[in-house]
Structure 1
Amino acid sequence: MATIRALWLLATACAAATSRRSQDHITIPLMQHRGENADANAQTLHAYIRHSQPRSSFATAPELQDAGTGFWYGTFSIGSSTNLSLLIDTASSDVAINPGLYKPSSHSENLHQTGHLQYATTQADGCGYADIKYHTYSDTVSLAGLTASNQVFAEVINSTPPNPQTVTVFRHDGLVGFGGTLASQTQLGGTPFLQQLCDEGVVKECRFGLAYGTQGRGKQILGGVDISLFDGKLAFSPINPGATVGITGDVVYKNEHGSGKLKSQVLVLDSGTANVVGPASQVRKLFKDLGIQTVKQKNEACSSVVYGHYACDSPAKVGFAVGRQVFNIEPSAFKLADNGGNNCTATITAVDDFAFWIVGQSWFQGKYVDFQQPNKIGAASLKNKTLAE
């Protein structure tokens, strides 16, 4: 999910000493749970770990999962609370846990700060907003045996939503933001989790990657790059000034009806968004050029949403440029919904009046996406797009 602060910055602006031995990087097995139930209480799977403790070229850590809506989760510990299923979100920078789950450790510190975390794109079609009331603490936060000792995080406080469609608690157990490196890029004013690992010398490099397969499997890489997962070399784009995961690149599309290119678009690579959301005028042009039927609807969770209906057996090629390479949405990920009768809804939508593209996990599938904040983002095609073992 993109934070409201990050959206505002993009719209208006369109290491450290090591205290202990660090690992080169770890590679984390992920799994996308493809259940049909998108309810907040959908069942989650426990993570498994596949890595050796000694330092090596890479090691391995827990799963991410999906509740049927495209959101991926990892298994974390916060304080003495274990097996927490927290959303992995590249377009926000804070750690937050739902009410009643936090068990303090001996390292816990009450920071006596309250406020509201705000997020967009909380639903599978890119609609939806969250307003999360919180209280802050500092405690240990761990992922796959990697521990940040003094991590600032938010414990969610139960509150009444400002309207029935506003989310006030997270799906599953909470969220971990992997965007940004500075306290000024967070809503809590604390160091982001990955940067905290770097500052404490837990990982060798302030870098992470996501490798999402097309059949529900994936991997997360922390502290480096796993070159065994992708073909060729990574193509890189610089991160835009003032952004956390925003780059500039072309949108390129083609099918039997037509083709086109939208040049120099702002692209926010957001693993916490399930689909792809673009500016209404650009999305309408893309649909028109491709012969995709445009359908505009009012939605209780956002002022308006533009959908595209196409023949399920003929998905278009739609790609986003990273560096000099264009990476297409995989055909298997192009469908947001099957309406029956060979009529499908495209994963691309336009929500409200976004001035840029939010490129979510449906595009991530089949790719290795490498985040080297605050400098650049890279991408490459997976050697094995299903990531089946």
Structure 2
Amino acid sequence: MQLSIQAIIGFVVAAGLAVASELPSPMTVNLERRKMLVTKNDTVDFKAVRKQANALNYKYDKLLRNFRKNTGRDHPLLHLLLDLIDKRDGKGDVDLDDIGEGQLWAGDVQFGQSKFKIDFDTGSADTLVNPFVYFPHRSKSSRKTHHTFSTAYGDGTTASGFIYTDDLKIGGYKAKDVAIGLSVTKFINDEDNQGIAGMSFPAVQSFPKKFDPFFVALVKQKVVPEPVFQFTLKRGSGSTLHLGGIDNSRFQGELSYVDVNPEDGFWISEGKVNGKKIDACIDTGSSIIFGPIDEVREVITKMDGVTPFTAGGALHGAFDCSKPPKLDFEFAGQKFNLGENQVSFGKYQGQCVLSIMGQKNLPMNAWVVGDSFLQTASVVFDMGKNRMGFAPSSN
């Protein structure tokens, strides 16, 4: 009989109470933002925006396919699947996401003897790296699993590689036999960042079920004191991923919690944008906030001083930079107002471009909530109690 991840986590937490004094303290990983969606003069690079939006659409399409494969049913928020070729034709093959240009938050990790920066993504569940980054032959603890992965890129090319397991070191923690996918083709075009580490639930993972997402592995091996991690992202320096507990110094006031359903795979919550109810997927792997085009249009048209326009097939809003509009998100009854630096992500023809955008035919009937919101809040992801906590980030 297979136990659910929640049952395993509950058992681990209960068992851990007896040896709490032996557990390590929570650890912090410092993060750096990789890439931007604007040029040097702060002008929005709509080509880069479109490229990332397409990559995110592809990512969620594949995750929804993974969900169907792993659970035998369609995701409750499924809208439509894109017209993509499914590459899974061989035993043990798994499909992964087209990451493209790295637009995420990167920190240091070590697999075996290989050290590198990797992006931490709450919108996916697998760990994979570019070629010539992880060197399994240099590690005595490395094991080749003989399971392969494959990924299709937007330009029609493909990449493939093997899944290995090895010792993972991150933020002072160490776990054994953690899965890592080594690609033979470069999939992140950023010399300073060489991979992605998914932190969502196993229901959307591409790897076979026996290969846990890295944070789940930390929890199962009782490496972390609590099955909790916390993102605090800032526009400048000071962004962190806190593992194994809550750092109260990273936020103001009290955390407000919302329940999440781990069986859905994503960190999804009901919320509001300027009072409009939405379903929101909190995704540290997205530099943008986007939602179904009709919902975004409804929000934009009610904002004073904002003019809708279309660029790259997406709906945007423009406004006078000296008169930023009111844009707030609400979770668990707590409002988060996007400040002057968050309400816009760049300029276009002398005006500021609103940090939310709308798209047609999204794979999922939900908003993907990324950077602009996350720079206003400290967010706690609690796998033990299946919830997310939100509070305004400290100055």
TM-score interval, normalised by the smaller of the two chains:
0.7 to 0.9
- Pick the aligned partner of 2:300 from 277, 284, 287: 287
* Residue 361 (structure 1) shift: 1.5
Indicate the larger mover: 100-109 or 288-297: 288-297
Counterpart in the other structure of 2:204: 185
* Counterparts in 2 of 1:139 and 1:269: CA distance versus 1, 3 Å: same
Determine if the alignment matches structure 1 residue 147 to structure 2 residue 181: no
- Pick the aligned partner of 1:109 from 126, 129, 143: 143
* Residue 233 (structure 1) shift: 0.8
CA contact (8 A) 1:368 1:379 kept: yes
Equivalence map 1:1-389=2 (5 Å): 15-16=11-12, 21-32=22-33, 70-82=103-115, 84-104=116-136, 105-117=139-151, 133-158=160-185, 168-169=187-188, 171=190, 172-180=193-201, 182=202, 184-189=203-208, 190-240=211-261, 241-252=263-274, 261-263=275-277, 265-290=278-303, 291-297=305-311, 299=312, 304-341=313-350, 343-354=351-362, 355-373=365-383, 375-384=386-395
Q: How far apart, CA to CA, are the structure 2 residues paired with 1:216 and 1:272? A: 18
CA contact (8 A) 2:317 2:353 kept: yes
Counterpart in the other structure of 2:62: none
Task: Name the aligned partner's letter for residue 74 of structure 1.
Answer: G
CA contact (8 A) 1:269 1:359 kept: yes
Q: How far apart, CA to CA, are the structure 1 residues paired with 2:393 and 2:333? A: 17
Give deviations 1:60-118, integer Å, cap 9, x for gaps: xxxxxxxx975210111112111x11111011111111012211211111111122357
Q: Which has the higher strand share?
A: 1
Could you say what secondary structure the match of 1:217 adopts?
coil
* Counterparts in 2 of 1:202 and 1:118: CA distance versus 1, 3 Å: farther
CA contact (8 A) 2:271 2:331 kept: yes
* Counterparts in 2 of 1:320 and 1:69: CA distance versus 1, 3 Å: farther
TM-score w.r.t. the length of structure 1 is 0.72
Instruction: Give 5+ residue unaligned stretches, structure 1.
Output: 1-14, 40-67, 121-127, 160-167, 253-260, 385-389
* Residue 317 (structure 1) shift: 2.2
Could you say what secondary structure the match of 1:331 adopts?
coil
* Residue 129 (structure 1) shift: 11
TM-score w.r.t. the length of structure 2 is 0.71
Q: How far apart, CA to CA, are the structure 2 residues paired with 1:94 and 1:32? A: 20
CA contact (8 A) 1:158 1:169 kept: no
Task: Name the aligned partner's letter for residue 380 of structure 2.
Answer: D
Over the aligned positions, Cα root-mean-square deviation in angstroms equals: 2.9
Give deviations 1:256-294, integer Å, cap 9, x for gaps: xxxxx212x110000000010111001111111114222
Could you say what secondary structure the match of 1:100 adopts?
coil
Q: How far apart, CA to CA, are the structure 1 residues paired with 2:153 and 2:168? A: 22
For these two proteins, the number of residue pairs brought into alignment is: 310
Among the aligned pairs, what percent are the same residue?
A: 24
Could you say what secondary structure the match of 1:278 adopts?
strand
